[in-house]
Amino acid sequence: MFLEERQAKILEMLERDGKVLVKELAEIFSVTEDSIRKDLSSLELDGKLKRTYGGAVSIEEKLQMTEANKRRISDVEAKRKIAAAAVKLIQPQDVVFLDISTISIAIAQILEKTETNYKILTNMVDVLVMLARNPKINLIFAGGQINQSRDGFSDALNLEFISNFRPDISFIGAFGVDIKKNSLTSRDTAGGIHKARIIDISKSSYIIAESRKIGVVGTYNFARLDKVTGVITETKLSDELTTTAEKLGVQIISAE
């Protein structure tokens, strides 16, 4: 196989899988790992991929991962406050769903040290890793095809699995919470469809969102605000917004 053909195949694999590994490519193409590294370096110079330790990721994949990492390290104190308020709502033996959200990670950080028996359902990888360490927690993980941010699962198989449960309480992330327009929005369609389904099947559901997301509008409108039990945020909202939410039957919980 010519050099150009091999590099074209590598790009095809990147488009399909989002990432490639040097070791695997060397075996597939029967060439040395050094030859593959040179291929990846050349393709990176052409702006067609981004090299990583042991391989490479597509440019789109790199952007997705970078954005996800930025979300993890932003508003840390606000997320901790929201997580603490959320955990207070959980009762022993509750079936609890934790959505793909950086605040769910903060909730898991609290629960991983608990001595109480909880049953946790999640489709987020970080939550799985943390809570699997605690034998007090009955952990159910909903897998499938991993999303572009590499932090969880939100495909059709995952949705079908989750739909078999009836959580007592769910904590759901949102890109935007527009109280005045009675709207909840997400960054993408697939994630939004999952969030909407969780709201439908849960006995009670709470949006976990930093105050900076109040009034923000995302790409996909996944549910009306009045479909959820409440919104947990880190600071007190204005009287106008609080009153509007109450008229919709939605509780605003301030974690101040």
What would the pLDDT profile of 144-155 be if each residue is shown by its tens digit?
Answer: 888 766 788 888
Percent of the chain scored above 90 by pLDDT?
Answer: 61
The pLDDT of residue 120 is: 96
Computed on alpha carbons and rounded to an integer, the radius of gyration of the chain in Å comes to: 21
Q: What average pLDDT does this structure show over 168-177?
A: 96
Q: Which range (56-60, 112-116, 200-204) has the least confidence?
A: 56-60
Rounded-to-integer distance, Cα 11 and Cα 15, Å? 6
Category of 44 on φ-ψ map: left (φ > 0), alpha (ψ -120 to 50) or beta: alpha
The pLDDT of residue 61 is: 53
Which burial class, exposed, middle or buried, applies to 149 when counting CB atoms under 10 A from its CB (0-12, 13-18, 19+)? buried
Query: Is the model's pTM score more than 0.85?
Result: no
More confident site: 203 or 34: 203
Cα distances (angstroms) measured from residue 15 to each of 24, 65, 83 = 16, 15, 37
Rounded-to-integer distance, Cα 112 and Cα 137, Å? 8
- Please list, in sequence order, all residues whose beta carbon lies within 8 angstroms of the beta carbon of residue 249, skipping any fewer than 6 positions away: 226
Complete domains list, the chain, with CATH? 3-57 (1.10.10.10), 71-254 (3.40.50.1360)
User: Strand, coil or helix: what is 61?
Assistant: helix
Nearest one of 46, 125, 182 to 14, comparing CA atoms: 46
